């Protein structure tokens, strides 16, 4: 029970920080006229909140980070008014390739060859 609480509390805090940023920081007319403080104050809490939220479900931080970066990238493209079918498809392909590169490898043995005498003796004990 306490493990779940330690995972949920940072997620709720980061979403609260993101909502506070959205409500309190003055927003510019468009993203090209925004300064670096406004952009980073918006995207950093959003990225961290998305990453930790996805990590609750997938339990793999690299997978969660890549998905969050993909969503942030799509939001930036939408804000710059250059989101279309081609950019969505290219972003989806890039996210898929990154996820397939960093997928979890589940190995039962330390090596591919299980015939190493010291390792098999240790595993039997």
Please state the rounded mean pLDDT for residues 71-100: 91
What stretch of H or E contains 5? helix 2-24
pLDDT exceeds 70 at position 48 = yes
pLDDT exceeds 70 at position 32 = yes
Report the alpha-carbon distance of residue 76 to residue 46 in Å, rounded. Answer: 12
pLDDT at 114: 57
List the alpha helices (DSSP H) in 59-111: 61-79, 85-101
Per the model's pLDDT, the better-predicted residue between 102 and 22 turns out to be 22
Per the model's pLDDT, the better-predicted residue between 66 and 120 turns out to be 66
pLDDT exceeds 80 at position 1 = no
pLDDT at 125: 54
* Assigned token pair, 65: 């980070």
Closest CA to 65 of 56, 75, 74, 55: 55
Across the chain, mean pLDDT equals 84
Report the alpha-carbon distance of residue 34 to residue 37 in Å, rounded. Answer: 8
The pTM score is 0.75
Q: What's the pLDDT band for 46 if we cut at 50, 70, 90?
A: very high
Q: What's the pLDDT band for 25 if we cut at 50, 70, 90?
A: confident
* Assigned token pair, 98: 């990154």
- Report residue 12 CA to chain centroid gap: 16
| pLDDT above 70: percentage of residues in the chain | 82
- Report residue 91 CA to chain centroid gap: 14
């Amino acid at each position: 029970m306490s493990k779940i609480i330690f995972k949920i509390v940072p997620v709720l805090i980061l979403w609260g920080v993101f909502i506070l940023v959205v409500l309190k920081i003055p927003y510019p007319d468009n993203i090209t006229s925004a300064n670096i403080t406004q952009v980073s104050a918006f995207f950093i809490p959003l990225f961290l909140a998305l990453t930790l939220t996805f990590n609750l479900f997938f339990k793999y931080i690299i997978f969660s980070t890549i998905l969050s970066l993909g969503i942030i990238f799509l939001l930036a493209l939408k804000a710059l008014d250059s989101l279309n079918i081609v950019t969505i498809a290219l972003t989806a392909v890039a996210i898929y390739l990154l996820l397939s590169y960093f997928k979890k490898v589940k190995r039962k043995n330390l090596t591919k060859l299980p015939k190493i005498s010291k390792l098999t003796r240790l595993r039997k004990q």
